[in-house]
A and B are shown apart, each in its own frame.
Chain A
Amino acid sequence: MRLFLGFKVKGDLKWISHIEYIRLFERMFKRVDMNILYSRGFNPHPKIKLPVPKSIGIESEAEYCEFECDHDDEQIKRVMKELIKLMNKNWIDIFKYVIVKEGEKALSKRIDFIKYRFYGIIGVPEIVKDFKGVIEYYLKDDMLEMKVERDFSFSKFSREFDFKSVDREIILK
């Protein structure tokens, strides 16, 4: 049985890496007696995937995890109920889960594009009125903060971001 799990990334959870999320989920699954499936190689790994790795430091309203387990429909309802309870207790907010029907595409194959959008400038003093003034104000600071939003099929998240550190051409519109 294959499932998608939607969860939010808030607080200190944003500082852990992609591989650490997988390990964290594996441990949570074990605690609720989820029979997770493993790869069959010399060194078996749990079949848990986070299809689009998220950079460290980004909070997210919707991240998705895909995993495979050995349960029937009745069992999975019970196990998922326990999992959601356990995760919520430990500050991981699961907002939905979906059982994937046989033959349906994997999560990673459903994403067509990822779009990054930078918007808003946070906390500009009221005396700075015009756009040029805003830019000058922020360039004075040692770190230019902007909100970054990343969109792909169904996920949105944002982080505070050092705009100066971006080694790319920036077009202001």
Chain B
Amino acid sequence: MKSTVKKLLQIEKPSRYAPFEINLPEKDFSEDGANILLSYPDSYEVGMSNLGLRILFDIANRIEDVFCDRIFAPFPDMESLYRGKNEDFVSVQAKRPLRDFDLIGFSFQYELLYTNFLNILDLADIPLRAGDRKEDDPIIIGGGPAMFNPCPVEPFLDLVFIGEAEESFKDINEIILKSKRESRDRDEIIKRLIEVPGVYSPALRKKDEKVKAVIVDDLNEISGIKNWVVSGQSIVHDRVVLELMRGCPNGCRFCQAGYIDRPLRVRSLENCKKTSEYLLDNTGYEEISLTSLSTGDYPHIRELCEHINEKYYKKRVSISLPSLRINSDTIELLDEVLKVRKSGLTFACEAGSQSTRDAINKKVFRDDLLDKIREVFKKGWKTVKLYFMTGLPFEDENELDEVISLIEDCAFLARKIGGRRARIIASFSTFIPKPFTPFQWSSMMDLPQIKERTKKLLGNIKNRTVSIKWHDAETSALEGYMARAGNEMADVIECAFKAGARFDGWTDHFDFKKWEQAFARSGVEKEKYIKRIDVNQKLPWDFIEIGVKKEFLIKELEKAENRESTKSCDTSKCRVCGACK
């Protein structure tokens, strides 16, 4: 204990490693029961903001004789202390060495978490490659959106889970518990676990064997989180999160979540009301976030906001609505929602020209956007954020000029109506082709192109009302190299990890040179991953079935080329993409 205190006094933010938390389940590590560990391979503050991790943590701890704990990635200062003193890397709650757990589940939200994942395994003294693991090593399973192309990390995983884990994770826990009681060996447990829907073993999967992604049919049937753990320290999303819908009706062609989360499923108003009350009463949070991929499209959004305001206005609970689409209903809704606190507003324009917006199926029109900007500044907002993506497929020739002109027009309105304090924040990210989108075959800008684009934008927008934010070019390029890679990328990831790559999503920790050396040492040509792919070519993730048909994606790609739009999803009638039964 003394050594822990001593260690924590030497590092930045000790509460990351010894967090004070309330609402923790009254359970502890038990030799007789199943011990499961969930990991989000990023910092505590980021990991604890992930709704998926919270849901699975709650599900596991509600099963009798199952104890579920968490682990997050240590920052370099803490890592060097662990390595220097040769101490056990321990879990957050039970403070047990990671090797003591029966199963460790990693949530991969995006590709830049892979080196942190290897670092956690290495610190826990677990062999990196699944083939090198022995009988007493924990079973390592990976899940999350990045696992829709699991190939780059397949060699490190004993099992992969594809899809939404609520139902399957319960089965996984029960199998672990039962197998442990029957004293089954590691290989037998793995063979039992691959019977669970959505789970496969990269080592045991036969060539041409398909894996079907698991989709929860009815959101109302999943019980809400019973114990919402409240952290004493600040975390990134320090609020209660209520998921209103899964899937998105809008079908933007670059958006992976819009395809892998199909079909659109809606939580009932009654369920939302009940869950929001339960969560707010049991956490004391001052903010509730009503989330989905497009919250403005939730059919009962107004009633729900009114209900929450009526009940919690006196307690100063504010509502936050991320992912709002810009239409007239949205602006009216804002009046109701933002009674307690005015939060920031983000308008996702994605592209500057109408032709590019048609190509990506983004139904935003210039005049509508300017009208909304005018309205929100009239209502007293001082800052509006505009979100753009650069390097999109089928971009208009004058795309950059169009983006600049749109931003300038918005800034003019902001200044005219909002006065000197008005601000437009233009945020730019780079298009990365992701699996299971119509643009999965498209090319991506290479590193010099991304840098050139950013330079031009920064050089051409001189308006003092506008602040520009942009994603780091090198992290975007790396994400692009990994998003569509095959098994050969595992060597590069391992090489980069051994060279010291950590926290690749954090610009202050990211070192692109280490990755360049890793590509060179592994003999893997990185540029090939961002080139255009022929639609007839076999893709590394073709063995995964998400419900949406490949023919549909090809058709969408053709429509993008012809600047044709696709109607929003109508799950009651439409059966075109294949996701709806």
Contacts and interface: CB of A to CB of B under 8 A. Distances in A.
Q: Do A and B come from one complex?
A: yes
A123 to B, nearest CB: 8
Count chain A CB atoms within 10 A of each CB in B6, B9, B14, B316 and give the residue with the most.
B9
Interface in A11-52: 11-13, 15-17, 20, 23-24, 26-31, 35, 38, 43-44
B285 interface: yes
A151 interface: no
Given A11-B20, A12-B18, A26-B284, A44 B233 contact: no
A143 interface: yes
Interface size class of A (residues with CB under 8 A): 20 to 34
B463 interface: no
Given A30-B315, A38-B316, A90-B22, A20 B233 contact: yes
Nearest to B238: A23
A162 B21 CA distance: 27
Nearest to B84: A142
Interface string A148-170: 00000000000011100000000
Count chain B CB atoms within 10 A of each CB in A20, A43, A123 and give the residue with the most.
A20
A56 interface: yes
A162 B234 CA distance: 26
A6 interface: no
Contacts of A145: 2, 6
Contacts of A29: 284
B286 A27 contact: yes
B284 A27 contact: yes
15 contacts: A12-B15, A13-B232, A17-B15, A20-B234, A24-B20, A26-B284, A30-B284, A30-B286, A30-B315, A35-B314, A122-B2, A123-B2, A145-B6, A160-B6, A162-B6
Interface size class of B (residues with CB under 8 A): 20 to 34
A143 B14 contact: no
The interface residues of chain B, by DSSP majority, are classed as loop
B131 interface: no
B487 interface: no
Contacts of B230: 27
A162 B9 contact: yes
B284 A15 contact: no
A75 to B, nearest CB: 15
A28 B15 contact: no
Nearest to A123: B2
A16 B20 contact: yes
Interface in B328-342: 341
B284 A31 contact: yes
B86 to A, nearest CB: 15
B448 interface: no
B283 A15 contact: no
Nearest to A29: B284
B282 A16 contact: no
Count chain A CB atoms within 10 A of each CB in B19, B20, B283, B315 and give the residue with the most.
B20
Given A12-B19, A20-B234, A29-B284, 5 more contacts: A15-B19, A30-B315, A57-B9, A91-B20, A160-B5
B8 interface: yes
B174 to A, nearest CB: 29
Contact of B232 (A24, A26, A161, A162): A24
A12 B20 contact: yes
Contacts of A143: 6, 9-10
A15 B8 contact: yes
B23 interface: yes
B310 interface: no
Contacts of A35: 314
